[in-house]
Amino acid sequence: MSSPRADPDSSEEPKPGKAKTEFRNYTEGKLIERVYNTYLLMHTHQTVEFVRRKSAQYGSCSLRRMSVMEALQLLDQLVDESDPDVDFPNSFHAFQTAEGIRRAHPDKDWFHLVGLLHDLGKVLALFGEPQWAVVGDTFPVGCRVQKSVVYGDSTFHDNPDTKDPRYSTEYGMYQPGCGLDNVLMSWGHDEYMYQVMKFNNFALPKEAFYMVRFHSFYPWHAHGDYGHLCSEEDRRMLPWVRELNKFDLYTKQEELPDVQQLRAYYQGLIDKYCPGQLCW
């Protein structure tokens, strides 16, 4: 599919159900112990060796065959244990995000679909992977952890890569400006869903693939860390990732969408861009 314009049309932020400062609060709240423990396990076990192993395990997309809607229905069973803002199934969040994008960008139906797809990789948690290997913010492995990584100052003490001289410098195993395409990110739903989209030849613009692949990389797109690894292409894509993030974050609210009413519209988009039974 031909690529859209270089930058998304800037849109107004959705009206969240609570103050913006109350989102992504990692210091207090009723879910905070669950969230902290998820990140502690993630930051202990996500190493270069672990990521390479998971990439090899899932890169062939030979786990099962199912449609996008079937994958979405599986997310009815999943509550993200890394998210301090929601305690309801992830399938509702998919429709909340997609509908927020649809209201702000009515002419970009492919972008509406990205909202629906962006977290579908979380089905890994229902295929036997622990949540720390599926959900949460991502970060590059193989180089020094930057300051904005959630709980980064208290959760990496048992990660062996932090003591490995190959991986513990600012650049670690990477070259300056090598591009995120050449960086190993912590394993999770972003990279898995990107691989599923690529393997099944989704007929979407490259911005769609990029947004899905890096939407959880908050240390970069929200805090400006890891810029020393980024290429010009990464900087060109950044506005798209930030545009998705507005709706990913600020459409989360307890008032849940009427999924049955919306299903026909999104099935039409699925039939247009990624139809039928897919390899996962």
Cα distances (Å, whole numbers) of residue 149 to 96, 223, 253, 255: 26, 9, 25, 30
Cα(89)–Cα(86) distance, integer angstroms: 8
Q: Is 9 annotated as a binding residue?
A: no
b/e per residue 73-99 (b: at least 16 CB within 10 A)? ebbeebbbbbbbbbeebbbbbbbbbbb
Q: Is 82 annotated as a binding residue?
A: yes
Q: Is 83 annotated as a binding residue?
A: no
Q: Is 109 annotated as a binding residue?
A: no
> Residue 251 CB: number of other CB atoms within 10 A?
23
Q: Is 93 annotated as a binding residue?
A: yes
Cα(118)–Cα(10) distance, integer angstroms: 20
By the 8 A CB rule, do 89 and 77 touch? yes
Q: Is 81 annotated as a binding residue?
A: yes
If residue 278 lies in a helix (H) or strand (E), which one and from where to where?
Answer: strand 278-279
Output the DSSP codes for 48-64. Answer: HHHHHHHHHHHTT--S-
Q: Is 164 annotated as a binding residue?
A: no
Q: What share of the chain is helix, strand, coil (3-state, %, to 5)?
A: 50, 0, 50
Q: Is 158 annotated as a binding residue?
A: no
Binding residues for Fe cation: 93, 118-119, 189, 215, 248
Binding residues for substrate: 24, 80-82, 122, 136-137, 215-216
Binding residues: 24, 80-82, 93, 118-119, 122, 136-137, 189, 215-216, 248
